[in-house]
Amino acid sequence: MTEGSISLMTDTRSRAPPARRTLAICLINPKFEPSYWGFDYALPLYPGDKRCTMITGALPALAGLVPSGHEVVLLDENVEPIDFEALRRFDVVGVTGMNVQKKRMREILLNLHGHGAFVVVGGAYPSVDPAYFDGLCDALFKGEAETTWPAFLDDYAAGRPTARVYAQSEQTDMTRVPKPRYDLLQVSKYASGALQFSRGCPFQCEFCDIIVTFGRVPRMKLPEQVIEELDDMRRAGFFSAMIVDDNFIGNKAAAKGLLRIIVPWQERHGYPLRLMTEASINLADDAELLELMYAANFRQVFIGIETPREASLRETKKLQNLRGDSQEAKLARIRQAGIDISAGFIVGFDNDDKAIFEEHYRFIQDNGITLAMVGMLQAVPTTPLYDRLKVAGRLVESDDNLNIVPAQMTREELREGYWNLVRRLYAPEAFLERYFRGSRYPEYHRRRAEISRKANEGKLLPTLVYGLLLLWSLFWALLRDGSLTRVGAVYARYFVRVNRRYRKDVVGFAQFMNRCVTHWHFYRFTREAIAGRLRLYNSG
Instruction: Read off the pLDDT of residues 53-68 as tens digits, 9 standing for 90 and up.
Output: 999 999 999 999 999 9
Condensed to tens digits (0 to 9), the pLDDT of residues 471-499 reads 999 999 999 999 999 999 999 999 999 99
- Give kind and range of the element (H or E) at residue 264: helix 252-269
Q: In the predicted model, is pLDDT for residue 382 greater than 50? A: yes
In terms of C-beta density within 10 A (0-12 exposed, 13-18 middle, 19 or more buried), how is residue 23 classed?
buried
Average pLDDT of the segment spanning 294-308: 97
What is the structure's pLDDT at 20?
Answer: 57
What is the structure's pLDDT at 159?
Answer: 94
Name the H helices within 371-410: 384-391
For residue 308, the SS3 value is coil
Count the helices and strands in the chain (H runs, E runs). 19, 18
- Give kind and range of the element (H or E) at residue 58: helix 58-65
pLDDT grade, residue 34 (50/70/90)?
confident
Q: In the predicted model, is pLDDT for residue 439 greater than 70? A: yes
Average pLDDT of the segment spanning 92-105: 95
pLDDT grade, residue 13 (50/70/90)?
very low
What is the structure's pLDDT at 6?
Answer: 38
Q: In the predicted model, is pLDDT for residue 5 greater than 90? A: no
Could you give the CA distance from residue 74 to residue 89 in angstroms, rounded to a whole number? Answer: 14
Task: Give residues with Cβ within 8 angstroms of 154, minimum separation 6.
Answer: 67
Strands (E), 102-188: 118-122, 139-142, 162-163, 165-168
R_g of the chain, CA atoms, integer Å: 24
Q: In the predicted model, is pLDDT for residue 4 greater than 60? A: no
Taken in order 123, 128, 133, 139, the sign of the CA dihedral is: positive
Higher pLDDT, 3 or 197: 197
What is the structure's pLDDT at 537?
Answer: 57
What is the structure's pLDDT at 500?
Answer: 85
What is the structure's pLDDT at 175?
Answer: 98
pLDDT grade, residue 512 (50/70/90)?
very high
Name the H helices within 392-494: 411-425, 428-438, 442-454, 460-481, 489-494
Could you give the CA distance from residue 281 to residue 496 in angstroms, rounded to a whole number? Answer: 35
pTM equals: 0.92
Could you give the CA distance from residue 58 to residue 50 in angstroms, rounded to a whole number? Answer: 20
What is the structure's pLDDT at 539?
Answer: 57
Higher pLDDT, 245 or 12: 245
Q: In the predicted model, is pLDDT for residue 371 greater than 90? A: yes
Poorest-confidence range of 240-249, 302-311, 504-513?
Answer: 504-513
Closest-CA residue to 283 (of 291, 295, 271, 272): 291
What is the structure's pLDDT at 147?
Answer: 97
Average pLDDT of the segment spanning 126-141: 96
User: Mean pLDDT for the chain?
Assistant: 93
pLDDT grade, residue 8 (50/70/90)?
very low
Condensed to tens digits (0 to 9), the pLDDT of residues 406-437 reads 999 999 999 999 999 999 999 999 999 999 99
What is the structure's pLDDT at 163?
Answer: 97
Closest-CA residue to 141 (of 155, 152, 156, 132): 152
pLDDT grade, residue 534 (50/70/90)?
low
pLDDT grade, residue 7 (50/70/90)?
very low
Domains of the chain, with CATH numbers?
Answer: 6-168 (3.40.50.280), 196-444 (3.20.20.70), 460-539 (no CATH)
Q: In the predicted model, is pLDDT for residue 169 greater than 70? A: yes
Largest CA distance in the chain: 72
Q: In the predicted model, is pLDDT for residue 10 greater than 50? A: no
Q: Residue 358: phi, psi to the nearest 5? A: -70, -35
Average pLDDT of the segment spanning 112-134: 95
Condensed to tens digits (0 to 9), the pLDDT of residues 179-191 reads 999 999 999 999 9
Percent of the chain having pLDDT more than 70? 95
What is the structure's pLDDT at 518?
Answer: 97
What is the structure's pLDDT at 211?
Answer: 83
Condensed to tens digits (0 to 9), the pLDDT of residues 184-234 reads 999 999 999 999 999 999 999 999 988 888 988 999 999 999 999 999 999
What is the structure's pLDDT at 535?
Answer: 67
Average pLDDT of the segment spanning 164-179: 96
